[in-house]
Amino acid sequence: MRGRSSPVVVEFPLRGGWVAVRTPAHKVPSHGTELFGQRYAFDFVRPDHRRGLHLHPAGNLRSLLLGGRTRDYYGWGQPVYAACDGKVVAAVDRVHERERVQLVRDIAAALKNTVGFDPHRSGFDPVAGNHVIVQGAEAFVVFAHLAPGSVSVIPGQEVRVGEMIGRVGHTGNSTAPHLHFQLMDSADPVRASGLPCVFAAYLVQRDGGWKRVERGIPGRGQRIRSAPEAPA
């Protein structure tokens, strides 16, 4: 799979309303690093209907200063679905989840797993948390930061597009419950290069309504949802 230049077409892996806070539509590498095949990775968070990016019932200032219970975040526990047909090559469900989101502490933990980090010694788990990797026909698909006890597949299992594989959590390098999603050219994230992808179809909120996008890349800050849904 190495060396592919044209994007792989996959299905959007979430339902309901989401926002891409990190996306290759904004910059490449999207996470500021090529490490672990993250060149074209996405981070999706779930907001409520208020203007701005409210991820928790409390106001943003209170959430920043005092944090909040992980399970109260809108994204936590939301189902994650296979984005393509394929075979599960990794399914990790042993990483502890922090009970509260506290921004300063979570950033410090992320820096600890980044500055001076040796991926060959520490591996993928401290960064990705609980995660699933599915080998599709054209790429290896990563779903990271899943909630403990939510991973519903095992290595070697065949999955079909749209099949639930886990739930959104706050494990690994995470500052709030979210789904980290990326494509790679190898089953081993330490050696992998990132691959570009487009989503087959999704809806984007625009001009007071929802517009269908086909083979697109969500922009940073856009409110999106899977295309088959009838938005509330």
pLDDT digits (tens, 9 = 90+) for 51-99: 889 999 986 666 666 678 999 999 999 999 999 999 999 999 999 999 9
Answer yes or no: is pLDDT of 181 > 90.
yes
> For residues 10-33, b (16+ Cβ closer than 10 Å) or e, as one string?
bbbbbbebbbbbbbbbeeebbbee
- pLDDT tops 70 at residue 17: yes
Helix boundaries (H) for the chain: 60-66, 103-112, 119-122, 125-128
Please tell me the pTM assigned to this model.
0.91
Q: What residue segments make up the domains of the chain, in order of their start? A: 8-197
pLDDT tens, residue by residue, 157-170:
999 999 999 999 99
Q: Classify domain 8-197 by CATH number.
A: 2.70.70.10
Q: What's the token pair of residue 31?
A: 């996470």
Per DSSP (E only), the strands in the chain are 8-10, 18-22, 42-45, 68-69, 79-81, 86-92, 100-101, 130-135, 140-146, 158-159, 164-167, 179-184, 194-195, 197-206, 209-216, 223-226
